[in-house]
Structure 1
Amino acid sequence: MSDTDVVGTIVLTVDGVEYDCASANPKFVTGKKPVATMNRQGRTRKKTKTTSSITLSVEVVIPENGDIDWANIEDGRVTIESLDGGHRTTYTGCEATDVSESYKLDGEAVRSIEMFALDKIIEGAA
C-alpha cells in the first residue's frame, strides 16, 4: 500500500472553524428500488429510480474549549484528504440529524454525528 492510498486527515468545518475527526463513514443511497408486483413467478420483476442521497457518520474529537451545538450544524463541510494532499474528497451542505457522545478509556472523547450531505466533490487522482 502506498502513502497515496492512506487517508491523512478528516476535518469537519462549521462556520469557518475546523474540528478534527477520528472517523468518517459516507453512505450513498442510489435511489434504486424494487417494485413488488403480482406475477406467476412470485418474484420482483420491476424496478424504479427515486432520489439518491448521501449520509455520513462522523466521529468528531470533542474540543477542550470552544464546544458548539453539534445538533444544529448547518451547511458544514467534511473533507477527507490523503497524506500527500494529492486526493481530496469534500462533502458540502452537511447538516446534523443525530448526535451522541462516546467516551473510551484509552481513546479520545468523541461526538458521533449522523448527517446528510447535499454534494460530493472529488479533487485529484481517483
Structure 2
Amino acid sequence: MADNYVGMIVLEINGTDYEVTSVEPTLKTGRKIVKTMNRTGKPSGTAKGIEEHDLKIAVPIPKKGEPDWRALIDAKLTIYPQDGGGERQTWTGCSLVEMGSKYQVEGEATRDLTIAALNYYTE
C-alpha cells in the first residue's frame, strides 16, 4: 500500500496568495529545566514557558510589484495543501522580524523573510 503525503502548498497572507519557494515554521516551547539541590544531582523537572512561533519564508523577487514586506504587521498567514489533503495551518499576529536577499548563479533571486507569529491554529 502506498502512503500519501502532502505535496505543494499555497501561502496566503491577509487573503492574497504569494509564490513561495520554501516555508520553514518552527515552534519554541519556552520550557525551562528546573534545577534544584537534591541528592541525585539532576534537575527535578521543567517549568512551563511561553511559546514562540517563527516562520522562515523564501519568496521569489518579481521584476515589478514586489509587496512592501516591511509593512507586514499583525497579519494572518495561512498555508494549505494545494491538492486538498492534509490540514490547513494558520498563524495570526504575524510581523516581519528580518528580511534578507539571496542571489545565486542558477535559480531565481529570493527574499528571505523571518516572521514572528503570536498564535497558531490547525483546521
In structure 1, distance between residues paired with 2:98 and 2:53:
15
Query: 1:23: which partner in 2?
Result: 22
Contact preservation (8 Å) 1:10, 1:22: no
**Equivalent residue of 1:81, what SS?**
strand
In structure 1, distance between residues paired with 2:76 and 2:61:
17
> Are 2:78 and 1:100 equivalent residues in the alignment?
no
Q: Where does the alignment leave 5 or more consecutive residues of structure 1 unmatched?
A: none
Contact preservation (8 Å) 1:32, 1:48: yes
RMSD after superposition: 2.1
Query: 1:47: which partner in 2?
Result: 46
1:1-126 matched pairs, under 5 angstroms: 1-2=3-4, 5-13=5-13, 16-87=15-86, 88-123=88-123
Q: TM-score, normalised by structure 1?
A: 0.79
Which amino acid in 2 is paired with 1:119? N
Matched residues, number:
120
CA separation of 1:6 and 1:84: change in aligned 2, threshold 3 A: same
Contact preservation (8 Å) 1:12, 1:18: yes
CA deviations 1:10-50 (Å, max 9, x no partner) are: 32425x54321111111111222102233333322232112
In structure 2, distance between residues paired with 1:21 and 1:38:
50
In structure 2, distance between residues paired with 1:41 and 1:72:
52
**Equivalent residue of 2:19, what SS?**
strand
Identity of aligned residues (%): 34
Q: TM-score, normalised by structure 2?
A: 0.80
In structure 2, distance between residues paired with 1:86 and 1:121:
17
Contact preservation (8 Å) 2:91, 2:121: yes
Q: Where does the alignment leave 5 or more consecutive residues of structure 2 unmatched?
A: none
